[in-house]
Amino acid sequence: MFIDYVENITHWESWQQSYRFGVLLIFPPDPPSSEVNNLRSQHDPQGQAICQAHISLTVPLPKPINLAQLNELRTIASGIKPFLIHYGPLSNYLPAPGVVLAIQPQDKIDGLRIALESASAFEGVPVRKYPFSAHMTIAEFITVEKTMELMTKLRGLVSEGDFMCDSVSYTVPDASFHFTERLKLELEIGR
């Protein structure tokens, strides 16, 4: 195995265990990463301890990834043109608690996600529980009341902007359930 996965995950919560073999994320550049990381540290330190500012892209991988599957994912990613991502405005998914930055264009991110999830590494994954809606989380481990309070407090104070999506990161959690990038999948070279 060329990726180190946590062997004993019995101390993880049940929802965490499905992430053992990692997930593909988009890590934004700075800005907005430093601003979002700062907000997460203040308003959701539990979420910030799990992973830096990111856009969740795929469902978790169901098993360890092998070299052939990694090469397949690289080939898929290299066939997709980089595209501009817009982050903001501040949003939420009430009645589910949490504060996020909306992410657009949903169709481009959907295309990237669907292409990557078609790879053999995702064979056998359970059907997605909720429709995919791209977002960058500011706070998720909070109450509905805290969600409404944060929406009021942060409205007009959180930046909106754009950045180029030119790669996707394969991230895997460590024993303390903190995700780090293990491999970067570059989108089409030569833009």
pLDDT at residue 7 is higher than 80:
yes
1-15, 32-46, 81-95: least confident range: 1-15
* Averaged pLDDT score across all residues of the chain: 94
C-alpha to C-alpha distance for 186 and 61, rounded to whole angstroms:
19
Percentage of the chain surpassing pLDDT 70? 98
Q: Are 104 and 152 contacting, i.e. CB atoms less than 8 angstroms apart?
A: no
Task: Please list the helix, strand and coil fractions of the chain in percent, rounded to the nearest 5, in that order.
Answer: 30, 25, 40
Confidence class of residue 190 from pLDDT cuts 50, 70 and 90? low
Task: Pick one of 2.60.120.10, 3.90.1140.10, 1.20.1260.10, 2.40.40.20 as the CATH number of 23-186.
Answer: 3.90.1140.10
| Cα–Cα distance for residue pair 132/129, rounded to 1 Å | 9
For the segment 65-86, the average pLDDT, to the nearest whole number, is 96
Give pLDDT tens digits for 175-187: 999 999 999 999 9
Task: Collect all residues with Cβ–Cβ distance below 8 Å to 50 and sequence separation of at least 6.
Answer: 173, 177, 178, 179
Rounded mean pLDDT, 114-119: 96
- Of 124, 133, 61, nearest to 93 (Cα)? 133
In this predicted structure, the answer to whether residue 21 has a pLDDT above a threshold of 50 is yes
The arithmetic mean of pLDDT across residues 138-166, rounded, is 95
DSSP 84: E
Structure tokens at 118: 């078609």
Q: Is the pLDDT of residue 145 over 60?
A: yes
Give the residue from 64, 83, 85 showing the smallest Cα distance to 170: 64
Return the pLDDT at 162: 97
- Catalogue the E-assigned strands of 27-158: 55-56, 83-93, 96-104, 135-139
Listed by start position, the domains of the chain span 23-186
- The candidate with the shortest Cα–Cα distance to 160, out of 87, 74, 98, 83, is 87
Share of the chain above pLDDT 90, in %: 88
